Structure 1
Amino acid sequence: MLTVTRKCLNQKWIEPLFKQATAIFAGLVFILLAAILISLVMGSWESIQRFGASFLWETHWDPVQEQYGAIVPIIGTIITACIALFIAVPISFGIATFLTELVPDCLKRPVGIAIEMLAAIPSIIYGMWGLFIFVPLFQEHIQPVLIEHLGELPVLDLLFSGAPFGIGLFTAGLVLAIMIIPFISSIMRDVFSVVPPMLKESAYGLGSTTWEVIWKVVVPYTRTGLIGSIMLGLGRALGETMAITFVIGNAFQLPTSLFSPSTSIASAIANEFNEAGGLQKSALMELGLLLFVITTTVLIISRLMISRMQRVQGK
């Protein structure tokens, strides 16, 4: 009887305490987000007052003349992230498909471990590899060929032109793609693994090929997870700093092609923040605020896309 009474008392006190503790932990997330946003706004307030909305489309970044504009790093951030997704998503989809549907048992574990090891490599290592290994190779052997053959075609001459510097937007996007492939492919693999085997076996029984099973059964069943994995990779690409800083060129100039040196929001902050002061520091803080807004917008768009897909599936 005493044991039962003690158990009831424990449940009476522990259960409400547990609920309050979890509510506090959940509330800390919103407190941290609010604190980050407030600190960014306060730090960039001088720049906001000085430049107003023109900060978003001004191209000049001149600490001597105290003229600052964000359009160059914004364009650099978006272009490199789009290049990274364009390269990484098909490769990640192929890796996930191979690991879940086609890989022999003897290779499944080694390939999975290799992908996890790629995800564990620090970003600065990717940047050093890109600068000292990939950039010279790209400058001497790959970029001249692309400029010679694609730079003469209509429309493509706007993308693949200029001098073969090796560094630039395309190189930065390619390094980013290599960085985010492990994250996207790992999530896609996990998502593909939850598809009920009965659905795939039924499709195979009806005479479907492996490609038809993947495209008509697995992808529709897991498309919300696929969108989530792509958005996670996009978020990683938008906020990457050190790897981009090594290979993008760090030039505050509007790009004329994919091979042009430029800069991104994260690399601009990393390069100048330690030596910045006054208005320049405030402008860099406003760049950080813009990056916060961009990543938040991407998150909202992804949630809206997933919610719409779920509603369509419910119908």
Structure 2
Amino acid sequence: MLDRSKLLDTARQVIGDEARALDTMAVTLGDGFVEAIETILAATGRVIVSGIGKSGHIGRKIAATLASTGTPAQFVHPSEASHGDLGMVTKADVVLAISNSGEAPELANLIAFARRFGIPLIGLSSRPDSTLMSHSDVKLLIPALGEACGEGVVPTISTTLTLAMGDALAVALMQHREFTAEHFRDFHPGGKLGAQLSRVRDLMHAGDAVPLVGLHTPMSDTLLTISQKGFGVVGVLDDDGQLAGIVTDGDLRRHMSGLLDHTAGEVMTKSPRTIGPDSLAQDAVAIMNDRKITCLFVVDPDGSRRVAGILHIHDCLRVGVV
């Protein structure tokens, strides 16, 4: 039978050990980190990240995070590098080699290649006197605090520190480059994140799909437009072609008596809530939820209230914006 209390104690011990190790690294972080940032910024090529075993797994994540936040990066497996993949590394690049011990033999050829061709080498290790660090131009040192397994053999604390160091590099570079949410969206067009960063202009309907009538349009024709366009609403334009109001189901119910004797301008709700094409789709959803409506007319951002399109909440839900 499982000892639940013991299992939870072990989990808390591991998490606590790793948290304390992160605190230690934050306090001891020094000039090597700044030098690493300067070296990466000076490179005109990519950051070539490499490591073997658990360091390799962490290295792949670091490369992916760098690449997705504005710093071109690529993971190169050190063993594959020895069999031709060194051709992926150019003099314009900078190498980030990861090894907790600093003695991984698989990195030897990559280190030698970097030295031979004058490619800047950043070493990330917990041993300042290791082979890797002795050959590195920049030394990124993580504290040597053992591992959380109690035996010192299962990479736990060391991999957590390495991952955090990579995240710190990526975010510091991102902030220096003034990497914005718009840039982030360009690199993350798919999935939940891409949906959350979608702009209204990406999802709205435009052109002939937009239901529009004039102020003096008879309600018989207005109802026909509502039916044909399928949004359950119609925008009403004034004589200058700007959005003066909208006709909704609620407006139809309020004017049910003698409805067909009216014009769109007489039935409409004036000065409806609108949104600009450059607004985030999730902001549009928030407005629709707050107002308990299903559509928003999109108007030009110059303040003229000229209609650029219409956005239905289903357009947002379909791509995952909630």
Q: Normalising TM by the smaller chain, what interval?
A: under 0.3
TM-score with structure 1 length normalisation? 0.22
Q: Point out the structure with the larger helix share.
A: 1
Greater Rg over alpha carbons, structure: 2
Q: Bigger relative contact order, structure 1 or 2, given CA contacts below 8 A and separation 6+?
A: 1
User: TM-score with structure 2 length normalisation?
Assistant: 0.21
